[in-house]
Chains A and B, each alone.
Chain A
Amino acid sequence: MDILIYGTINSFSLALMAIGFTLVYGISRLPNFAHGALYVVTGFLVWSFISILGVHYIAGIILSLVITGLLGAAIYQFVLIRVRGMATSEIIASYAIGLAILEGFRWGGFKGMTYTLPVFIEGSIEIAGVPVDLQRIIVVGIGAVVVAFLWLFTHYNKIGLALRGMAQDERAAMMLGIDSDMMALVAMALGSILAGLAAIALLPLGNIVVEAGYRVLILAIAVCIVGGLGSWGGAVLAAFIIGFAQIITVAYIASHFHIVVALLAIIITLILRPSGLFGRQKELEERV
């Protein structure tokens, strides 16, 4: 029972971490290696709004999400747009930006136990005899809401439909009058906001540390590769597979192997089924 409940919670947190990355990659074919950095940035922004400026928690969260979204859009507009289509430069540029942000925080003395966010609601409840913090329940709730919202957004909204069109066939979408750069900008902003949302949901469970940025990036990438890069349904399913695999590993083997699960998942996926669980017709494109 422990495994079932904590596995579900862990899976939802993984899905939250990964969905922003997979959204950006799916729409603009841009591997956003700054994803982990945006996660930490949001955590830091919320913390400084609450602790330094004394803003109300909810207002702080909304402000930070907006700023993170703008930051993501700025990264796209001023840097990535100039190197689009050049795979090498895209990877290097986004990686360099992420690194600059994370290491900048590390230099600013941003580590240790001092930086924590308060939980939304204190307390815990028992589900089938297992005590669970309310915050973890909220994580599951936010995860489910985000997935549902994204599904509705991309099926019933003009911008959402345009994003899906871009993801399926960029040229055809441009022919139908969809502004490809604008949509990629929107995707990047949305992806950053999703990274920020993950941070807000997950960070109250621990400290805000720079390492979290790298960890989130690795986990997000692992989930995306297992699910098939750019596939949203695949990412959610993969989050469940990796989430349960991690919890089972921790329960039966040792907690050290937590991070190894992600690496093994990537390697096994690449060997057996490189396009992931739900990679759409990309076998032809990506497998040489």
Chain B
Amino acid sequence: MKPETGERRRERLDRGIKVRTEGIYAISSWEEMNYLLVPRLALIVGMLILPLAMPSMYWQRVISIVCIYALLALGFDFLAHFVGLVSLGGALFIGVGGYLAAILNTSLGFPIAVTIPIATIGGAIICTLLLLPALPLRGVYFAIVTLMYPLVLLRIIEALNILGGTEGILGVASFPNRWVEQYLIILMVIVSLFGLRRLVNQDVGLVFRGVKDNDQAVKASGLSITLYKSIAVFIASGLGCLGGAFLAHIYMWAGISQFALDFSILPIAATVIGGGGTLVGPIVGCLILVPISELLRAFGTLRIVFYALILTAFIVVRSEGLMVYAQRKYHQFERWVRV
């Protein structure tokens, strides 16, 4: 007999298997091990067979773009939900990484194996230095500064006609073949995802969360907040610059469109749709949004309108996102209890 609506509420409890797999009992039986392994393996295997499953060269290229956006979105999610910094300028990271890789490759003649690591590390250093003034502050300053940089850098490159001006830098080397291109970036996404998940559960991850939730406590513990924020920005911008370097090599070109708004808004939309704070969510979000955006390519900048509206709708109506919902269903069961 069901109680009346006013007298009951829904109760959520962790499944027994979830509690068991958190400790040493995780290896007690195949059931427990599968409970842990299946979701992870599903993601990894799914990502690895994606390029094989794509019908044409064009869609294989789309997979690479998905991965670039996924790197950016991972960085955004990490910064926003684990460190408390909202970055509105993913395009800054992509642009710096892309231009750096292009310059290293065309002017100095380094091969891809050298340009990508240098562009990643060097780009991360440049971005961290650029954003450093906003780091000791709380509040909206970081968002404002990250919003401004891509817009202003774009203007500067256009106006001063440096770095190839509006035409960009042409003739960047491409990858030896498309399989290398795709599997390299897919591996990068998987490694970054699991690496970041590790990181946020280490001691340093705890400090990051402390910076987000209660910076006074972190400060009282004698830790420098600015230092930890810089480390976090370094990591996130490194991911973005890696994506930018890949982008420059994939399109054999670096230009001002790498400072375009797409790179700022799409990762945010993907994170909100996929579920912020899960780190898997942004990747799932990118897997959904980027192909849709490719289908809408004919509509030009209407795509940005489309992401922005989806983003607003999700943030207002369903702010938890897909993966948070999925994880809840996977780990917990619900039942009605009498109040």
Contacts and interface: CB of A to CB of B under 8 A. Distances in A.
Whether A associates with B in a native complex is: yes
B44 interface: no
Task: Give 8 nearest A-B pairs by CB, closest first.
Answer: A100-B308, A256-B159, A103-B304, A270-B133, A96-B308, A107-B302, A96-B311, A103-B301
B265 interface: yes
B190 interface: no
25 contacts: A91-B86, A91-B88, A92-B315, A93-B312, A95-B265, A96-B265, A97-B312, A100-B308, A100-B312, A104-B302, A107-B300, A107-B301, A214-B151, A218-B148, A256-B160, A267-B145, A270-B137, A285-B138, A285-B139, A286-B137, A286-B139, A286-B141, A287-B136, A288-B225, A288-B226
A287 B305 contact: no
A211 to B, nearest CB: 9
Contact of B148 (A78, A88, A104, A263): A263
B279 to A, nearest CB: 16
Contact of A103 (B133, B219, B308, B319): B308
Nearest to B225: A288
A107 B156 contact: no
A91 B145 CA distance: 13
Contacts of B319: 83, 89
A107 to B, nearest CB: 4
Interface string A253-288: 000100110110011001100100000000001111
B136 A274 contact: yes
A26 to B, nearest CB: 13
A239 B244 CA distance: 36
B78 to A, nearest CB: 13
Nearest to A86: B319
A235 to B, nearest CB: 15
Interface residues of B, number: 49
Contacts of B304: 99-100, 103
B137 A287 contact: yes
Interface string B298-318: 011110110111011001100
B147 A266 contact: no
Contacts, number: 133
B315 A107 contact: no
Interface of A: 31, 33, 78-79, 82-83, 87-89, 91-93, 95-97, 99-100, 103-104, 106-107, 214, 217-218, 221-222, 225, 229, 256, 259-260, 262-263, 266-267, 270-271, 274, 285-288
A221 B144 contact: yes
Interface in B60-86: 80-81, 84, 86
A260 B138 contact: no
A107 B300 CA distance: 7
B138 A270 contact: no
A286 B299 CA distance: 42
Given A103-B301, A262-B152, A270-B145, 20 more contacts: A83-B315, A87-B139, A89-B319, A92-B86, A92-B272, A93-B311, A93-B316, A96-B265, A96-B269, A96-B312, A97-B308, A107-B299, A225-B141, A229-B139, A229-B140, A259-B155, A260-B152, A274-B141, A285-B139, A286-B139
